């Protein structure tokens, strides 16, 4: 009986671990910038946790659920919302409905939209741990992976009602590998971060701010970040004309390799914590 019980418990532990790692192995960390149309949604798989940053737009909810189920995801340990615009928070309702979410993080910025109010309602109804982040905070993603927040500052949140500019900007750190997640932060936030953090912003990979808009990715910011690769999340033939030519020209100026979800599909980064990471395109 003891032997049988031990075997059953071992099987349960194995299934739980499979859900937690979701296709990672050993010390490898996987990051997916999902092909989710004109919005943002990224998945981070560490040895210990699955983290999601943003959830895409309302009209992509079904696609988001399909993508997560294809990956056999049942639990999201941490959900980070960079700011409460629909193309970043719109899929949260479907995430709460279809998956277990343990913790939610955002910057505390509020809006009167029904989408945002439903987001708050779901967090309360499901008794999900809720945290607000600002510059200087750090979040542990497990497995030696951390997330250092550079923006917004408390002053920005108190004095500025620009939801884009107040986006959470944070750097994923795993040993020697770094990736900067940027939401829809714009030039003013970039200037503040460059002044406050300087070379600390340096990252191997840049998640393009504001879908490659001309209002972001300023020269001084790109000089500080010094990224080798940049990933733009956007829809083909979108109404905003993203990515703007001025931005693509700046990326070219700094010899950055450009990946785009509208052309490349989901973009996947694999890293063992060294600076020798790989980037894979779906298409």
210 vs 26 pLDDT, higher one: 210
At residue 10, does pLDDT exceed 70? no
| Cα–Cα distances in angstroms (integers) from residue 46 to residues 22, 67, 108, 126, 245, in the given order | 9, 18, 26, 25, 35
Closest to 261 (Cα-Cα) out of 84, 125, 82, 67: 67
State the pLDDT at residue 276.
87
Q: What number is the average pLDDT over the span 244-265?
A: 97
State the pLDDT at residue 25.
54
The whole-angstrom separation of Cα 170 and Cα 22 is 23
* 70 three-state secondary structure: helix
What is the model's pTM? Answer: 0.90
Quick one: tokens of 57? 């737009």
pLDDT digits (tens, 9 = 90+) for 97-112: 999 999 999 999 999 9
**What are the domain boundaries of the chain?**
24-281
Pick the CATH number of 24-281 from 3.40.50.10090, 3.30.1330.50, 3.60.15.10, 3.30.450.20: 3.60.15.10
């Amino acid at each position: 009986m003891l032997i049988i019980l031990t075997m059953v418990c071992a099987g349960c532990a194995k299934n739980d671990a499979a859900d937690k790692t979701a296709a990672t192995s050993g010390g490898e960390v996987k990051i997916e910038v999902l092909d989710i149309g004109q919005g943002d949604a990224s998945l981070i798989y560490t040895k210990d946790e699955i983290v999601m940053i943003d959830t895409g737009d309302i009209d992509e909810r079904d696609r988001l659920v399909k993508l997560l189920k294809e990956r056999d995801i049942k639990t999201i340990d941490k959900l980070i919302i960079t700011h409460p615009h629909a193309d970043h928070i719109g899929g949260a309702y479907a995430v709460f409905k279809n998956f277990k979410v343990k913790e939610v993080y955002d910057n505390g910025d509020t809006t009167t939209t029904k989408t945002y109010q439903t987001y708050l309602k779901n967090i309360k109804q499901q008794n999900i741990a809720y945290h607000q982040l600002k510059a200087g905070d750090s979040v542990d993603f497990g497995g030696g992976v951390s997330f250092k927040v550079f923006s917004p500052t408390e002053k920005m949140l108190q004095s500025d009602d620009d939801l884009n500019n107040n986006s959470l900007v944070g750097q994923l750190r795993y040993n020697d590998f770094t990736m900067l997640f940027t939401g829809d932060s714009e030039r003013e936030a970039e200037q503040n971060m460059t002044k406050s953090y300087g070379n600390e912003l340096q990252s191997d990979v840049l998640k393009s701010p504001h879908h490659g808009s001309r209002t972001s990715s300023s020269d001084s910011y790109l000089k500080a970040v010094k990224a080798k690769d940049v990933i733009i999340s956007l829809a083909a033939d979108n109404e905003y004309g993203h990515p703007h030519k001025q931005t693509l020209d700046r990326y070219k100026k700094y010899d950055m390799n450009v990946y785009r979800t509208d052309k490349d599909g989901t973009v996947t980064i694999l890293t063992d914590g060294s600076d020798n990471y790989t980037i894979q395109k779906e298409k």
